[in-house]
Amino acid sequence: MSARRLAVVSAGLSQPSSTRLLADRLAAATASQLRAGGHDVQVDTIELRDHAHAVTDHLLTGFPVGELRDAVQAVIGADGLIAVTPVFTASYSGLFKLFFDVLDADALAGKPVLIAATGGSERHSLVLDHALRPMFSYLHSIVAPTGVYAASSDWGPAHSDAAGGSRLAQRIERAGAELAELVSSRPSVGPVDAFDDPTPFADLLAGR
């Protein structure tokens, strides 16, 4: 069996959060498809709320420390990424954007990414195509065709089809299958140390 690593980034602020719940379900769907294809799967889940102060420090100093460094390594070294944010003011959360701002410009180039978001109302679902997809396209990621948006009402029985299945669950399974296919079709990234070749301190001082 070949090994595949998934990194799951959840920007939910509460505990528990619907953002983390959606992230876990997407990870489970993707991992299930990968295992069915004969892969061993490792899933690294990153709760951004645990790294909020460290992310801000990194923006100011240019150096990630402690657990944030491990989180960055997990994302860069993953074969596929699941990125889930709550919707704030019709877009991704500030913490979500800050985390991806601290990554090197080419860190996600060519990496398969599944985008997802949660919000209180269905009217925010366009955040997937108006905010998340453009951001990851700018980072040169390979974004899975199906994004998943979950409003508060999607977690209840009212959003089921005639056969009694949840439309959200169907979309999660489809998105997970798409990400698994993208991950399976590419060579494994393998262990990556993003800090083997750090920027010289003089260059940081010079703003280069």
* Model confidence at 123: pLDDT above 90: no
pTM of the model: 0.87
Looking at every residue in the chain, the average pLDDT score rounds to 88
Residue 203's pLDDT is 59
* Model confidence at 161: pLDDT above 70: no
Residue 15's pLDDT is 84
Token pair 């990630």 in the structure block, residue: 64
* Model confidence at 115: pLDDT above 60: yes
Residue 121's pLDDT is 83
Q: Model confidence over 22-56: pLDDT tens digits?
A: 999 999 999 999 999 999 999 999 999 999 999 99
Rounded to 5°, angle at Cα 93 from 115 and 46: 60
Which parts of the chain are beta strand (E)? 2-10, 39-47, 80-88, 91-92, 112-119, 142-143, 148-151
CA separation for the pair 170, 192 (Å, rounded): 34
User: CATH number, domain at 123?
Assistant: 3.40.50.360
The total of structural domains in the chain comes to 1
Angle, helices 66-76 vs 52-61, to 10°: value is 90
Task: Give me the domain span that covers residue 168.
Answer: 2-205
